[in-house]
Amino acid sequence: MSQDQEYVEHRVNELRREINLHNYYYYVLDDPVISDAEYDRMLAELKDLEDKYPRLKHPGSPTMKVGAPPAGQFQHREHSLPMYSLDNSFSLEEVREFVLRIRKQIPDSDPHFWAEPKLDGLAVEIIYENGLYVAASTRGDGYVGEDVTDNIRTIRNLPLALFHVDHLPEYLEVRGEVVIPRKEFARLNEDKARKKEKVFANPRNAAAGSVRQLDSRITAFRPLYFFCYGTGISRFKSGAGWQSQEDMARGLNALGLPTVPGGRICRDPEEVEQYFREQLDRRELSDFEIDGLVIKVNDIGLQQRLGFTSRAPRWAMAVKFPALQGRTRLKDIQVQVGRTGALTPVAILDPLNLGGVVVSRASLHNENEIRSKDLKIGDLVLVQRAGDVIPEVVRPETRERDGTQKDFVFPEKCPACRSPVARIDDEAAIRCLNMSCPARLEQQLIYFAGKQGLDIEGLGRQWIKVLVEKRLLYSPADIFRLTLDDLLPLDGMGKKLAQNILDSIEKAAQKATLPRLIAALGIRHVGVETAKRLAENYKDLDELAAADENSLQLIEDMGPKVASSIARFFANPQNRKLLEEFKEIGLWPSLAPGTGEDLPLKGKKLVFTGAMQALSRDRAREMVEKLGGKVSSSVSRNTDMLIVGENPGSKLTKARELGLEVLREEEFLSRITKWSI
C-alpha cells in the first residue's frame, strides 16, 4: 500500500469516528460541540473519499443513511425471543397491586423498579453483530415482524457502528420505539398540506408510515428518532451480561445507543407515584408524545424468576396517563359501511388540537350510543383521545344549546348501495343486508387479503380500493383471476410491481391452509382461533358449510351466537357460490379433522423457547397443529413438552422445576420426521 493510500484510509477512518461521535453528541446527548456547517463539511469529505475509493466503503459508515432503491415488498423476519406487549393500568392503585403480586409470587423479593416515560411510537428490534448494524424488523405479532433493515438504517440518531468499549457484545438485539418529535410532526403535516396530500393523524402513525415505506429514500427524509428500552438476545465476548435495567441503560448509552430519556430508579410504589405525577405535569413540554410510564423490576435475575404470562411479562407494566380532553363543535354525523354490513356513525368535528394531534373525526359506534349520550348535530361536545390515540366523543355540553341543534336520523337505506338496512336479533348494530354492497365488498376484500386472512403481501388497502373502483374485483375469488393485463393500466403500477403482486397472490394460494381460509372469509364472531377449531372438526369448506347449528355447538367453546353466525353465513346462496369459485380456481385446502386417536400430538401442549435455527415459529406451529397438538407461549403444569433453541432463558428453568419433557430443536425435528413418515 502506498503512502497516499495509507493516508486516505487513515483519513476515512478518522472522519467516520468523528462523525459518529458528533452524531452521538447531537442526537443522544443533545449537546453539539461543532457547527452544522462543520459537520456537513466532514460528511461531504467522507462521501467524496468513499466515492473515489469504493474499496473503503463500509456498512457502518454514516454515509449509508441515505436510503436504498425501492423494495418490491417487505419480507417477514422472526424474532429470536417474543416481543411481548405490556399489561396496561389506568390508576396508581394498580401499581401497588402489581408490587403485591410480585411479592406473593416470590416472597423473598424486595424489588426496586426502573421507571421511564412510555413513548408512543412504533416498536422495532435492531440487530448488531460485532458492533455493526445488520438488520431491523417491526414488532409485528410479537413473534414475526417485517424486515425494515434498509429503512431503519436511515434513522438519524441510530449508530450503524457501536462504540468499541470494553464490554462490546458479539451479538446484540436492541428493542425500542421509533418516534417523531412533536415540532417535526407539525412541520411534516404542514408540508403535506401544502402539497395537498393527506396529513398524518398523529406522530405515531407518521412514524409507522415512514418506517413502512417501500422506498427507504423517503424514510431517510422523515424526522425519525429511535430510543431503546430493552434487549432480546445478547452475547458478550467476555464476562456476563447486564444485571439490571439500570446497568442495561448505561451500557447501551456507552455503546452509543440512545435510550428513553428520563429513566430512573424508584425504590417503592410511593416513588413511582411521585415520578408519575412529575411526568404527567411535564407531558406537554416533552419533545415527544408520552402516554404514560413503563415500570420494570430493575433486577434482571428477578425478572427471569417472575417470567411471563401468555402475552406479557409479569415483571413490567405500563401506567397510562389520563386521556387528553377538549371542546369542539359536532358539525355532522356521517355513516360508514363495514365488511360485515354494520353501519357505523362517525362524528365530523371542527378540528381540535389535542396534545399536538388534530382531531376532526371520531367513531360513535352505533345508534344506541348517539341516543344514550343525547348527541345532536351542532352540539358543542367534549372530546378526548382515549389512550392518547383513539378520538372519542364523551358528552354534549347541553347547557350550551341555543335551539339550532338537530337530532340525527339514522338512515333506513344503506348510504353506499341504497339497499334496506335492519337490526339483526338483539344487536346494537344496524346492518346493510346486501352481500354485494360495494362498501361491504371493499372492506371484505381488505380483510381477506390482510394479515388476519391470507396475508397477500403487496395487495393492501389502497390497491384493493382501486381494483374495486375499476370493477376488476367482485368477490375474493377474483383476486386469483387477476392478470398483468388487468394491473398494468392502473396509475402507479409498473411491470415489476404488478408481477410482484401476482407472485404474492400465487404464493398465498399455495400456502393457504384450511384454518387461514376460514378466517379470511370474515364470518362474524369467527377469528383465527375459532377458525382453527373448525378446521379440526371439518375436513373442508363443503363439510363446514353443511354443518347445522346444533352440530356446531358440539365443538368446544362454540356457543349459540357463533354457531348461528356460521350457519347463517353458509346458508347465503352468494357465499355458497363463492365456495364453488374457490374450487374452480384450485383454492381448496383440506385438513383431516384432528379427532383421530392416531395423531401423535393429539391433545398435547408444546412451548418453544430460544432461537430456532431450522424452524420459524410459524412453521413450527403449523407442524405441531397438523399432528394434533397446540402451541402455547408460556410454561405451566399443563405443558407437555418444551422445545429448546439457543439461549432459552427462564422457560427452561421453569420446565425443569416442573419435571416437563424437554427436547432440543434437533431432537424435536427427528421425532417430527418419524411421525410424518
Residue 20 — pLDDT band, cuts 50, 70, 90?
Answer: confident
SS3 395: strand
Separation CA 243–CA 263 (nearest Å): 17
User: Of 626, 624, 600, which Cα lies nearest the Cα of 612?
Assistant: 624
- Report residue 411: phi and psi, to 5°: -65, 145
Residue 356 — pLDDT band, cuts 50, 70, 90?
Answer: low
Do the Cβ atoms of 665 and 644 come closer than 8 Å? Answer: yes
Please report the pLDDT score of residue 594 as a whole number.
45
Separation CA 604–CA 640 (nearest Å): 6
What are the cell numbers at 241?
A: 451480561
User: Of 48, 80, 243, which Cα lies nearest the Cα of 613?
Assistant: 80
User: Of 589, 451, 585, 449, which Cα lies nearest the Cα of 511?
Assistant: 589
If you average pLDDT over residues 423-446, what whole number do you get? 79
Do the Cβ atoms of 86 and 294 come closer than 8 Å? Answer: yes
Please report the pLDDT score of residue 517 as a whole number.
93
Residues 183-193 pLDDT 10s: 999 899 888 88
If you average pLDDT over residues 200-204, what whole number do you get? 83
Residues 241-272 pLDDT 10s: 889 999 999 999 999 999 999 999 999 999 99
Q: What angle, 0 to 180 degrees and rounded to 10, lies between the N-to-C axes of helices 182-194 and 203-211?
A: 70
If you average pLDDT over residues 391-409, what whole number do you get? 92
- Count other C-beta atoms under 10 Å from residue 382's C-beta: 15
pTM above 0.85, yes or no: no
What are the cell numbers at 581?
A: 369459485
Separation CA 412–CA 434 (nearest Å): 13
Residues 60-107 pLDDT 10s: 677 765 555 555 567 888 888 888 888 888 888 899 999 999 999 999
Percent above pLDDT 90 for the chain: 34
Vertex 319: Cα angle to 301 and 148 (nearest 5): 75
Please report the pLDDT score of residue 91 as a whole number.
85
Residues 104-119 pLDDT 10s: 999 988 899 999 999 9
Please report the pLDDT score of residue 116 as a whole number.
96
Burial level of 322, CB count in 10 A (0-12/13-18/19+)?
A: exposed
Separation CA 197–CA 76 (nearest Å): 30
Residue 238 CA, distance from chain mean position:
35
Q: What residues have CB less than 8 Å from 361, skipping those under 6 apart? A: 346, 347, 348, 349, 391
Residue 504 pLDDT > 80: yes
Please report the pLDDT score of residue 676 as a whole number.
56
SS3 350: strand
* Mean of all residue pLDDT scores within the chain: 85
DSSP E strand stretches across 364-493: 380-386, 390-396, 421-423, 430-432
Task: Identify any residues that bridge with 342 across adjacent strands, giving them in sequence order.
Answer: 431
- Answer left, alpha or beta for residue 539, where phi above 0 means left and psi between -120 and 50 means alpha: alpha
Separation CA 117–CA 517 (nearest Å): 41
Do the Cβ atoms of 463 and 501 come closer than 8 Å? Answer: yes
Task: Identify any residues that bridge with 330 across adjacent strands, giving them in sequence order.
Answer: 349
Q: What residues have CB less than 8 Å from 671, skipping those under 6 apart? A: 663
Q: What residues have CB less than 8 Å from 587, skipping those under 6 apart? A: 477, 480, 509, 512, 517
- Count other C-beta atoms under 10 Å from residue 406's C-beta: 11
What stretches of 383-539 show up as alpha helix (H) in DSSP?
438-449, 461-469, 484-487, 495-511, 514-520, 528-537
Residue 170 pLDDT > 70: yes
Please report the pLDDT score of residue 222 as a whole number.
92
Q: What is the DSSP letter of 86?
A: -
Residue 290 pLDDT > 60: yes
If you average pLDDT over residues 614-628, what whole number do you get? 75
Which carries the bigger pLDDT value, residue 374 or residue 195?
374
Q: What residues have CB less than 8 Å from 172, skipping those under 6 apart? A: 127, 128, 129, 162, 231, 234, 235, 255
SS3 347: strand
Cα Rg of the chain (Å, integer): 28
Please report the pLDDT score of residue 334 as a whole number.
93
User: Of 581, 567, 570, which Cα lies nearest the Cα of 475?
Assistant: 581
Separation CA 647–CA 80 (nearest Å): 9
| DSSP codes of every residue in 410-437 | --SB-TTT--BEEE-TT-S-EEE--TT-
Which is it for strands 122-129 and 132-138: parallel, antiparallel or unpaired?
A: antiparallel
If you average pLDDT over residues 219-229, what whole number do you get? 93
Please report the pLDDT score of residue 249 as a whole number.
94
Residues 530-582 pLDDT 10s: 888 898 888 889 999 999 998 898 887 788 889 988 998 888 887 888 899 99
| DSSP codes of every residue in 622-664 | HHHHHTT-EEESS--TT--EEEE-BS-THHHHHHHHHT-EEEE
Q: What angle, 0 to 180 degrees and rounded to 10, lies between the N-to-C axes of helices 269-281 and 93-105?
A: 150
Span of 46-60, 450-464, 485-499 with lowest mean pLDDT: 46-60
Separation CA 335–CA 414 (nearest Å): 9
Is 118 considered catalytic here?
A: yes
Burial level of 58, CB count in 10 A (0-12/13-18/19+)?
A: middle
Please report the pLDDT score of residue 153 as a whole number.
92
Residues 578-600 pLDDT 10s: 899 999 998 998 765 444 446 78
SS3 594: coil
Q: Find the catalytic residue in 118, 532, 651, 654.
A: 118
Please report the pLDDT score of residue 401 as a whole number.
93
Please report the pLDDT score of residue 595 as a whole number.
45
Residue 21 pLDDT > 90: no
CA dihedral 406, 411, 414, 418 (to 10 degrees): -100
- Domains of the chain, first to last: 3-66 (1.10.287.610), 88-320 (3.30.470.30), 324-434 (2.40.50.140), 438-511 (1.10.150.20), 514-585 (1.10.150.20), 605-676 (3.40.50.10190)
Separation CA 279–CA 290 (nearest Å): 9
Do the Cβ atoms of 434 and 440 come closer than 8 Å? Answer: yes
